[in-house]
Amino acid sequence: MTSINHVKQWMNMEPITLSNTHTPRDALTLIAKSADKELPIVEKGQMLGVVTLQDCVVHLDEDTDIFSIMKSEFLAVSDDFSLKENRDGAPLYVLHEKTGILEGVIGREEMAAYYERIREREEDAQKTIEWLKLSFDTAYEGVAIVDEKGIVQLFNETYSRYVGVTKEEAIGRSVENVIDNTRLPVVLKTGVPERNQPHRLQGQELVVHRLPIWKNGKVIGAVGMLVYEGITEIQQVLQRMELLHTTGKQTEKQGAEKPVRQGPVHFEDIVGESPVIAKAKKIGRKAAQTKAAVIITGETGVGKEPFAHAIHDMGKRSKGPFVAVNCSAIPENLLESELFGYEKGAFTGTRNDGKPGKIELAHGGTLFLDEIGDMPLTTQAKILRVLQEREVDRVGGTAPIPVDFRLITATNKDLKKQMEADKFREDLYYRLHVMPLHIPPLRERKQDIPLIIADQLPKLSEINETTEKTIDKEILQIMFRYEWPGNVRELLNVLERMFHLCEEDHIRSEDLPDGFNEQKRAPGSLSEWREKKQKQEQKFEQKQIEDVLKEVKGNKSEAAKRLGISRATLYNKLSRFS
């Protein structure tokens, strides 16, 4: 097969040539018709030499024959010569290997056409590379590729979210310093693939593939792929497969999107793959393995309670109760009796036999105090005593009741400012602020919007017992420009309204709530928004690391442990901030 670089693909097989009858003036006229500065002299098909423009001009008025100004040195090549070798772009004369007959010429025009084709191919290749990069990073599965020495060559954003190491930090490093407990070096040694293997990474259970890359009978690298995120995802796949078998008539799409039954909340159930939400999940997984108090911060509507549920359901107290109390929803005069309970006859209107409080009910499990920033100071003092003494006094009671529970709190307020304003106890703050977990607002993770919508639409169809609906791309573009002051809660509300307002099976922009397009839009283009978002994420990450370092008095090992990252990753991040 002839290569695109071979002269045979490009040569002019009917070039302008000179003969022994031409004079220098004739040659000059013919050269003027050509794009080149020289022409070949040919006799009976054989190439004898070349005549240049300069020599024709010098000898123009002389009475001389063409042979006297002919040069016998020229670049003769065969038809499989590669144009890549013609670096100076000089004319090439393609001669038959055996007979020496001139078969064609590569001049300026031919070289220009060749370079144009190469440029087009490079543009096509660049587009293909861009598509591959986008596909590689868009892939749901985390993918890491190493060379024969175990050095990371490719690393996608999904894997980056799992390990907390950026692509830039990972590439060029030994895979053992990037991925905990990796067996890719083993696969490089044995050449044996390891498919569907359980793997524990950053406290999370995963299913992975480890595949050797063979070439010419030699292992030149390996691929690591994260296939399933935890047991829940495997169960969901099995349920969908079962659904396909039992219904028979259901389409593959319907089977893939059918909601599964409710059960314990796992971090993989919390929809979102953006770096900031992935980091929050990682810290949450670390928190679940401890007994320490966790305080979840974030704006109203970001989804703090699902994180509290996931920490409980993944923790050692998952078999115990999960008791939630919204401190802002209960009137101040009733909050204490709700939390601590009361004895028989404690005050007018009580039940005859008394009532245990939420703290007692959480014994052996988890107590979740939502909106703790709204808790009155008097109640704060009593909560602090419960945490210190591990016992609770019912209202009107005479004997303390021992309690054992894991405490998770949440707030949308800045408790440090509350402390400065004497609205929150400093001693209680430090009791609660052992493992801080911040949930970012939706405007900082807008790339999760399509995922949230894809998760919710099938659920809305099932709840309302209607056919599944699709959504127009234009709506997503509008949503990307919106600031979402109400966060995920507002998004779910808007989506449900559109679902009910839509009279067809496809939701369009006209189904958006009135005035939605004009309200609270983020300025600038999508690229500007992405740049702003990246800066916000880095600023948030830097502050988080600085706060933790301050809490542990600069101990980097302890800080890395609390952040759920390796010491090497922490040092990399610190060097990036400096």
**Closest by Cα among 27, 38, 20 to 105:** 38
pLDDT score for 17 = 93
What single string gives the DSSP state of each residue in 492-559?
Answer: HHHHHHHHHH--SSEE-GGGSPTTTTTSSBPPS-HHHHHHHHHHHHHHHHHHHHHHHHHHTTT-HHHH
**Closest by Cα among 300, 325, 480 to 407:** 325
Give tens-digit pLDDT for 342-389: 887 655 555 556 788 899 999 999 999 999 999 999 999 999 999 999
pLDDT score for 300 = 92
CA distances from 214 to 39, 131, 146, 366, 369 (A): 52, 25, 12, 51, 55
Please state, in angstroms and rounded to a whole number, the distance separating the CA atoms of residues 107 and 34: 9
* Unique residue bearing structure tokens 């052996």: 364
Residue 372 burial class via C-beta count within 10 angstroms: exposed 0-12, middle 13-18, buried 19 and up: buried
Please state, in angstroms and rounded to a whole number, the distance separating the CA atoms of residues 86 and 510: 61
pLDDT score for 504 = 85
DSSP-derived letter for residue 14 is S
Name which CATH class applies to 267-440. alpha beta
pLDDT score for 568 = 64
Residues 6+ apart with CB under 8 A from 77: 7, 92, 93, 94, 95
CATH of domain 140-232: 3.30.450.20
CA distances from 478 to 332, 442, 470, 472, 510 (A): 42, 14, 16, 10, 12
Please state, in angstroms and rounded to a whole number, the distance separating the CA atoms of residues 23 and 27: 6
Inter-residue contact 536 to 502 (CB < 8 Å): no
Please state, in angstroms and rounded to a whole number, the distance separating the CA atoms of residues 506 and 103: 64
Domains 267-440 and 443-522 share a fold: no
pLDDT score for 1 = 58
Beta strands 401-402; 218-229: pairing state? unpaired
CATH classification for the domain delimited by 527-577, as one of 1.10.10, 3.40.50, 2.20.25, 2.60.40: 1.10.10
pLDDT score for 144 = 92
Inter-residue contact 202 to 220 (CB < 8 Å): no
pLDDT score for 240 = 65
DSSP-derived letter for residue 415 is H
pLDDT score for 412 = 93
Residue ranges for the chain with pLDDT beneath 50? 249-261, 519-527, 529
pLDDT score for 477 = 84
Please report, as a single letter, which amino acid is at residue 489.
Answer: R
Structure-derived torsion over alpha carbons of residues 300, 303, 308, 310, reported in degrees to the nearest 10: 180
Three-state secondary structure call for residue 52: strand
pLDDT score for 518 = 52
CATH of domain 7-114: 3.10.580.10
Single pTM value for the model: 0.60
Question: In the chain, where are the structural domains located?
Answer: 7-114, 140-232, 267-440, 443-522, 527-577
Domain 443-522 has CATH 1.10.8.60: yes
